[in-house]
Structure 1
Amino acid sequence: MGAAESIGIKDFEGVELTGVRRLLLGTGQWKDHSRFPEWIPAVEPGLAPFLANKGVRLLGIDLPSVDFLDSKELPAHHALSGCGIHILEGLVLDGLEPGLYDLAALPLALEAGDGSPVRAVVKKKG
């Protein structure tokens, strides 16, 4: 994905999502992982039902959040969660080509936590 104000349905025109259960998005917006970004594009809440209707159950993204960094309401988090889509943020997808991959991202069992660090790894299919 290129630079954009937000990430929405428009970004998936012509993209075949049939059979995609876990969707990883590389925006390229967070270039220096040693520094927290000052700004990121947010996922539009309307994307959640669109992805859910396609069968997506996990959205992974190379940004520290699916919402704007200063968001207090977290509309994308709530929309994705409400549609049964798990969120995997902060992925490092550098050098990963578009394609089909197997994904392993095992969370820690944190009591009363609403998230967890993971060690996410992918392996190219085929």
Structure 2
Amino acid sequence: MSEWIDISQRLHNGIAEWPGDTPFSYEVRFLKADTGSVNIGKMTTSMHMGTHIDAPFHYDDEGMKVHELPIDVYIGKARVIDVSGLESVGRSDLEGIDFGGVERILLKTSSRPNPDVFPEVFTFLRPDIGPLLKERGVRLIGVDTPSVDPEQSKTLDAHHSLHDNGVLILENIVLQTIEAGDYELIALPLPIEGGDGSPVRAVVRKWRS
């Protein structure tokens, strides 16, 4: 049986946050030596730290919040597509590629090699990708970058295009060692009521046909 491969960024003090966002921090707030029974940790973080999903509420006041998302979207067959070297990815880059009927596409851009350094430039998605993914029946897009839009974007055109076409977003996955092909994916968000996003533990294993 194929082994599960962790494709999550490890959360630790010092991991790079989105510029201006809340950094990740963890500390053992109460020590077993003091409580007499247990260690208790305290965590402070943005919902968009490390490997995470965006709920539509993140960029749309009327969008679904994390607790309202259909969890089946985050479990199932996924296809990893290698688009390394592209400045951006849109319809023309993907329309000639067979998706194999999968509902989850993971794009390997290789443009964020170090999670402890926020990249000055990373591969982003062009808005015309949304209609193509809808045509192919895709419900989830995953990227190995901090966002599907450029860091400086305020209009978030790719986010809105994906939302308008029924595609949910998974960001900051780690695909350096993952070859193109079909996998089983699990990337479940936490049930955060009212949340605009959630960190996830994303894992894959080779698809068994």
TM-score range with shorter-chain normalisation?
over 0.9
Structure 1 equivalent of residue 99 of structure 2: 17
Secondary structure at the counterpart of residue 69 of structure 1: coil
Larger relative contact order (Cα-Cα within 8 Å, sequence gap ≥ 6) = 2
TM-score (norm 1): 0.94
For residue 202 of structure 2, what is the aligned residue in structure 1? 120
2:118 to 22, 29, 36: 36
Percent of aligned positions with the same letter in both sequences? 48
- Aligned counterpart, 1:49: 131
Normalised by the length of structure 2, the TM-score is: 0.58
Of 49, 55, 64, the residue aligned with 2:146 is: 64
- Supply the AA of the counterpart residue of 2:160: H
Deviations 1:26-50 (A, max 9, x none): 0000111211111112201110010
SS in 1 for 2:162: helix
Q: For structure 2, which runs of at least 5 residues remain unmatched after alignment?
A: 1-82
Provide the alpha-carbon RMSD of the alignment. 1.1
Aligned counterparts of 1:97 and 1:86: Cα–Cα separation in 2: 23
Q: Indicate conservation of the 8 Å contact 1:18/1:55, yes or no.
A: no
Following superposition, the deviation at residue 5 of structure 1 comes to 2.5
For residues 114 and 39 of structure 1, the distance between their equivalents in structure 2, rounded to whole angstroms, comes to 24
Distance 1:27 1:64, change over 3 A: same
Runs ≥4 residues deviating over 6 A: none
Q: State the secondary structure of the residue aligned to 2:201.
A: strand
Q: 1:94 to 1:5 in 2, by over 3 A?
A: closer
Partner of 1:106: 188
In 2: Cα distance, 1:55 partner to 1:102 partner: 17
- Residue 155 (structure 2) pairs with residue 73 (structure 1): yes
Aligned to 2:86: 4
If you compute each CA radius of gyration, which structure gives the higher value, 1 or 2?
Answer: 2
Q: Say which SS state the counterpart of residue 135 (structure 2) adopts.
A: helix
How many residues are matched?
A: 126
Distance in 2 of aligned mates of 1:76 and 1:114? 17
